[in-house]
Chain A
Amino acid sequence: MENEIELRQVTKAYGTLVAVREVSFAVQKGTVFGLLGPNGAGKTTLVNMLTTLLKPTSGSAFVGGYDVVRHGANIRSLIGVVPQENNLDRYLTARENLVLHAKMHGMHPSAYQRRIDELLSLMGLAERQKDFPNKFSTGMQRRLVVARALIHDPQILFLDEPTTGLDPQAKRAIWDYFLSLKRRRTLFLTTHNMEEADFLSDEISIIDNGSLIARGSSAQLKEAAENARFYEIEVVHRAEEYSRIFQQMPVIESASLQDGFIRVCLKKEGTLGALVEQIDPRDLKRISSREPSLEDVFLKLTGRRLRQ
C-alpha cells in the first residue's frame, strides 16, 4: 500500500534541547495513525514539522509525496489541521471563520457555502453560526475548529489532541465522524488519551522524550506487554497505603491506584503470593487478572504514567 506520510531520521533541536530525535516511520494511505505520548514528548513538534510550520533540523519528511521543506504549499493544499489550541478568530462569527478558511483554499462560494452548511449541521453548530466563538463553550469551539479543518475536504487530516475539552457525547460523535472518513482519508492523530488512540487508530506509535519507543497495532502493543502479569486488586479500605507498599516491592513492575482499584503489574509469574501476603485478609475483597491497556504498555515501556 502507498505511503501517505513518511519520516526518515527526522530530528528537531532547539539549541541543545532535542525535541524530536531521529524519528522514522511511514503512514499508509487510508489509515488512522495514532501517536501516543505524554505532554512534552514531542508529538506537537512532529505534527508542526509535517504540517510545514517547522523545518526539521535534520532528516527528511514527506507528506502526500511532497517534501515538507521544499513543497510546503503543495502539502498545505492537501492537509487539514486541528491544532491543540482553539485558534479561532474571535472577531469573526463561526460561519465567517469557516468562510475565511475556505477562501484561503481558493474555494468558490458556491462550493464552500454548501460545505459549510453541512459541517455546521454535522457539528451541531448550525443554530449558532452567527455567534462569535468567544461566546462558545470549549467543546463548541473545538467542534468549530474540527469543522474548519474539514471544509476543503482534505486528503490528510492532522488531529492534535482533537477531542480535548469535549464532553463524552460530543467526543463520541467526532470519533464516529473520523471513523467514517477512514479508508478515504489518512488521519494522523496525536493524543495522550489511550481510549482515543485505541478506538481510532489502525497503528499506534508511542513517543517519549522525542524518540519512538514502540510501534504496532493496539493489539500488538498489548500483546508485547503480556509477558508481564496484570492484576486488579480491590480492598475494603487502606487502598492508598497498600498501593504505596506494593510500589516498594522488588517483584512489582508498577502499582497504581485508579478508581478505587489497585492496578499492579508483576515483573514475573509466580510472585502474586508475595504480594497477597502483604494484604491483611480482612481488607482483601477481590483479586482478578486483567487485560493490559495502552496505559499499561506505556507504563511498562517508560516506567511512567501518560498523565503525571
Chain B
Amino acid sequence: MRGAFCIWQRDMLVLRRNLFSEITTVLAFPLIFFITFGLGLKGYIQDIEGVPYALFVVPGLISMTAVLAAFDDASWGMWFHRIVQKTIEEYRVNPITVTDIIVGKIISGFTSGVFKGIAVGISLLLLTGFSFNLSFLAVYLIFIFFGCITFSCIGSLCGTLIDKPENLGRIEAVVIMPIIFLAGLFFPLSAYPQNVLPYIEAIPTTALFDGARIALLTGKADFFYLSLLLTSALVSFILAVWMFEKKIHG
C-alpha cells in the first residue's frame, strides 16, 4: 500500500495548498441552502417532528457537503489525472500496483469529504447556535464516514469510466443531486406517500441523511440504515477497484 499512501500524501499536499479557496467554495453552497431553506422558510414551516426546521436541515447540509465533496474530489481528480495530466500513466511505470492507485484516490476523496463536512459543520454550529449532545457525535460520524467512502468510490468509478467532462457534470446533475434531494434532506420522509416510501428508504442516501440526522439529534444508530450504508460502501468499493483495474489492463 506504499503507492496508495504516496498518492494520498500528494493529494493532501495539494488540498493543504489550496485550503483557503477550497474552504470558501465548500462553505458557499450549504450556507446558501441554509439561508434560503433554513431561514427563509422557517417562518412558514412548523417544527418537524418536534425539531425546529432550521435545525432539522443542519445535519443534512453537513452530510450533503461531505458526500458531494467526496464525490467531486474523487471523480474530477481521477478524470483529471487520467485524461488531462496523464499522471496515472506516470504512476503506473513505478513499482506500485494498479490497486494502490485506485485505493489512494478513494482515500483522498474520503479525506476531502470528511474534512469539508467538518468545516461546514463547525461553520453552521457557529452561525446557527445549533447544539447537540456531544456523545451523539461518534454515531453521526460513522454515518458520515460510510457516506464519504461510498461517494468517493462512486466518484472514482465515474472518473474511471467517463472520458468527457460534460458527462461527468451530467452524472452529478441527473443522478447524484436527485438521490440527495430525494433522501429527505429538506423534509421528513413521512411526507412521502406510503406506497412510495419503501423505495425511498432503499436509496443509500436516505440511509445516510435520515440515519445521520437521527444519530445527531437522538444518538440512535438505525441498524437498517447502517447496514444499507455499509453494504453500499462495500459494493461501491469493490466496483470502483474492479472497474479501474479492468480499464487499466484493457
By a beta-carbon cutoff of 8 Å, the part of chain A in contact with chain B is 51-55, 73-74, 76-77, 79, 81, 83, 85, 87-92, 96, 100-101, 103-106, 148
Find out whether the CB atom of B10 lies under 8 angstroms from the CB atom of A105: no
| Contacts A55-B249, A92-B14 given; does A104 touch B85 at CB 8 Å | no
Interface 1/0s, chain B 77-92, versus A by CB < 8 A? 0000000011101111
The closest CB in chain B to the CB of A53 belongs to B92
Q: Which residues from A are CB-within-8-Å of B3?
A: 104
Query: Residue B13 contacts which of A79, A83, A87, A92 (CB distance < 8 angstroms)?
Result: A92
Find out whether the CB atom of A105 lies under 8 angstroms from the CB atom of B94: yes
Find out whether the CB atom of B95 lies under 8 angstroms from the CB atom of A85: no
Q: Any chain A CB within 8 A of the CB of B134? A: no
Q: Any chain A CB within 8 A of the CB of B9? A: yes
Q: Which residues from B are CB-within-8-Å of A148?
A: 90
Q: List 5 A-B contacts (CB under 8 A).
A: A52-B93, A104-B6, A104-B91, A104-B96, A106-B95
Q: Which residues from A are CB-within-8-Å of B87?
A: 87-89
Docked CA distance A272–B171 (Å)? 69
Find out whether the CB atom of A76 lies under 8 angstroms from the CB atom of B2: no
Find out whether the CB atom of B95 lies under 8 angstroms from the CB atom of A73: yes
| Contacts A101-B94, A106-B2 given; does A87 touch B85 at CB 8 Å | yes
Interface 1/0s, chain B 220-248, versus A by CB < 8 A? 00000000000000000000000000000
CB distance from B17 to the nearest CB of A (A): 8
Docked CA distance A91–B14 (Å)? 7
Q: Which residues from A are CB-within-8-Å of B85?
A: 87-90
Docked CA distance A85–B3 (Å)? 22
The closest CB in chain A to the CB of B97 belongs to A73
Docked CA distance A76–B98 (Å)? 12
The closest CB in chain B to the CB of A81 belongs to B93
Pick the 9 closest A-B CB pairs, nearest first. Answer: A104-B94, A77-B95, A87-B86, A76-B95, A81-B93, A91-B14, A103-B6, A87-B90, A104-B6
Q: Which of B99-127 contact A (CB under 8 A)?
A: none
Identify the interface centre among B86, B91, B95: most chain A CB within 10 Å of its CB.
Answer: B95
The closest CB in chain B to the CB of A91 belongs to B14
Docked CA distance A55–B98 (Å)? 14
Find out whether the CB atom of A51 lies under 8 angstroms from the CB atom of B93: yes
Interface 1/0s, chain B 1-42, versus A by CB < 8 A? 011001001100110010000000000000000000000000
Q: Any chain A CB within 8 A of the CB of B250? A: yes
Find out whether the CB atom of B95 lies under 8 angstroms from the CB atom of A104: yes
Q: Which residues from A are CB-within-8-Å of B17?
A: 91
Q: Which residues from B are CB-within-8-Å of A73?
A: 95-97
Docked CA distance A106–B5 (Å)? 11
CB distance from A63 to the nearest CB of B (A): 12
By a beta-carbon cutoff of 8 Å, the part of chain B in contact with chain A is 2-3, 6, 9-10, 13-14, 17, 85-87, 89-97, 249-250
Docked CA distance A79–B90 (Å)? 12
A-B contacts besides A76-B96, A77-B95, 4 pairs, CB < 8 Å: A53-B89, A76-B93, A87-B86, A92-B13
Docked CA distance A81–B89 (Å)? 11
Q: Which residues from A are CB-within-8-Å of B250?
A: 54-55
Docked CA distance A225–B222 (Å)? 81
CB distance from B13 to the nearest CB of A (A): 7
Find out whether the CB atom of B86 lies under 8 angstroms from the CB atom of A85: yes
The closest CB in chain B to the CB of A100 belongs to B10
Q: Which residues from A are CB-within-8-Å of B14?
A: 91-92
Q: Which residues from B are CB-within-8-Å of A76?
A: 93-96
Q: Which residues from B are CB-within-8-Å of A106?
A: 2, 95
Q: Which residues from A are CB-within-8-Å of B249?
A: 55
Docked CA distance A101–B93 (Å)? 10
The closest CB in chain B to the CB of A104 belongs to B94
Q: Which residues from B are CB-within-8-Å of A74?
A: 95
CB distance from B105 to the nearest CB of A (A): 14
Q: Which residues from B are CB-within-8-Å of A88?
A: 85, 87
Find out whether the CB atom of A92 lies under 8 angstroms from the CB atom of B10: yes
Q: Which residues from A are CB-within-8-Å of B2?
A: 103-104, 106
Docked CA distance A104–B3 (Å)? 6
Find out whether the CB atom of A83 lies under 8 angstroms from the CB atom of B89: yes
The closest CB in chain A to the CB of B100 belongs to A104
Find out whether the CB atom of B90 lies under 8 angstroms from the CB atom of A83: yes
Identify the interface centre among B2, B86, B93, B250: most chain A CB within 10 Å of its CB.
Answer: B93
The closest CB in chain A to the CB of B86 belongs to A87
Find out whether the CB atom of A103 lies under 8 angstroms from the CB atom of B89: no
The closest CB in chain A to the CB of B10 belongs to A100
Docked CA distance A81–B85 (Å)? 16
Q: Which residues from B are CB-within-8-Å of A104?
A: 2-3, 6, 91, 94-96
| Contacts A92-B14, A100-B6 given; does A105 touch B95 at CB 8 Å | yes
Find out whether the CB atom of B6 lies under 8 angstroms from the CB atom of A53: no
Docked CA distance A74–B97 (Å)? 11
Docked CA distance A30–B10 (Å)? 35
Find out whether the CB atom of B9 lies under 8 angstroms from the CB atom of A103: yes
CB distance from A39 to the nearest CB of B (A): 18
